[in-house]
């Protein structure tokens, strides 16, 4: 059994090599972030109707994702860490969607 020769009991899905990300990557990410900040400010001045908040949030999500993946090294982390990050956002989504079931349907009926 594999776990015998692994004193840290770091079974594979939970394990990743330490990976050093080069400054070049950081610079690329940094520039992308600045560009997208510009885009999101610009987009705010254009009337896209319902799309305005969607675009703004999409850009924010994109920026957050690249920060998480590169600045926070998640791209090079074990699956466990990736799952953990996902679980956090998933619970946040539960909070939002399940609470919204109340607020959205309050107007539906008499009550």
Partner 1 sequence: MDNVSVATQPHTHEEHHHVSLPQHRHHFETEEQQREAGTFGMWLFLLTEIMFFGGLFFAYLLYRNWYHDAFVAASNQLSIPLGAANTAVLISSGFFMALGVWAAEVRKKGLLVLFLVITTVLGFIFLGVKYVEYHEKWEKHHIPGAHFDISEFVNPQAYGLKEQPLAPDMAAKTQIFFSLYFAMTGMHALHMIIGIGLLVWLTWRSYRGEFSAGYVAPIEYFGLYWHFVDIVWIFLFPLLYLINRHPGQ
Partner 2 sequence: MSAHTIVNLPDQRTATMPKRNYINNEDGILSWLFTGDHKRIAMLYLVSITFFFFIGGAFAGLIRLELLTPQPDLMASDTYNKFFSMHGIVMIFLFLVPSVPAVLGNFLIPIMLGAKDLAFPKINLLSWYLYWIGGLFTLTALVLGGVDTGWTFTTPLSTHYLNTHVVTAAVGIFIIGFSSIFTGLNFIVTIHRMRAPGMTWFRMPLFIWANYAASILMVLGTPVLAISLVLVALERTIGIGVFDPTKGGDPLLFQHLFWFYSHPAVYIMILPGMGVISEVISTFSRKRVFGYTAVAFSSVAIALFGFFVWEHHMFIMGVSNYSALVFSLLTMLVAVPSAIKIFNWAFTLQKGSITFETPMLYAFGFIGLFTVGGLTGVFLGALGMDIHLTETYFIVAHFHFVMVGGMLMAFLAGIHFWWPKMTGRMYSESISKLAAIVTFIGFNMTFLPQFILGYLGMPRRYHAYPPEFQVLNVLSTAGATILGVGYMLPLLYLGWSLKYGAIAGDNPWQATGLEWQIQSPPLTENFTEIPVVDHDAYDYEWLEHKTAQEVTTVG
CB of 104 to partner 1, least distance (A): 9
Phi-psi region of 108 (alpha: psi -120 to 50; beta: other; left: phi over 0): alpha
The closest alpha carbon to 70, from 16, 13, 30, 15, belongs to 30
User: From the list partner 2, partner 1, none, which binds 111 (C-beta under 5 to 8 Å, kind-based)?
Assistant: partner 2
Provide CB contacts within 8 A for 59, sequence distance 6+.
36, 39, 40, 43
> How many angstroms from the chain centroid is the CA of residue 96?
16
Q: Which spans of this chain sit near partner 1 (rule: CB under 8 A)?
A: 4-5, 7-10, 14-16, 18, 20-23, 26-27, 29-30, 33-34, 37-38, 40-41, 43-47, 52-53, 56-57, 59-60, 63-64, 67-68, 70-73, 77-78, 80-81, 84-85, 87-89, 91-92, 95-96, 99, 103
Token pair belonging to 70 = 């590169």
State whether the Cα torsion 3-6-7-8 is positive or negative: negative
Q: Which stretch binds partner 2 (CB under 8 A): 16-24, 40-48, 68-76, 96-104?
A: 96-104
Contact residues for partner 2, defined by CB under 8 A: 1, 3-4, 6-11, 14, 80, 87-88, 91, 94-95, 98-99, 101-106, 108-109, 111
């Amino acid at each position: 059994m594999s776990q015998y020769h692994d004193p840290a009991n770091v079974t594979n899905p939970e394990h990743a090599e330490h990976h050093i990300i080069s400054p070049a990557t950081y610079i690329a990410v940094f520039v992308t972030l600045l560009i997208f900040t510009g885009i999101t400010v610009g987009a705010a001045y254009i009337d896209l109707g319902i799309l305005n908040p969607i675009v703004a949030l999409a850009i924010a999500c994109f920026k957050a994702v690249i920060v998480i993946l590169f600045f926070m090294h998640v791209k090079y982390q074990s699956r466990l860490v990736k799952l953990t990050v996902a679980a956090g956002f998933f619970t946040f989504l539960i909070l939002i969607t399940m609470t919204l079931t109340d607020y959205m349907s309050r107007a539906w009926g008499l009550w």
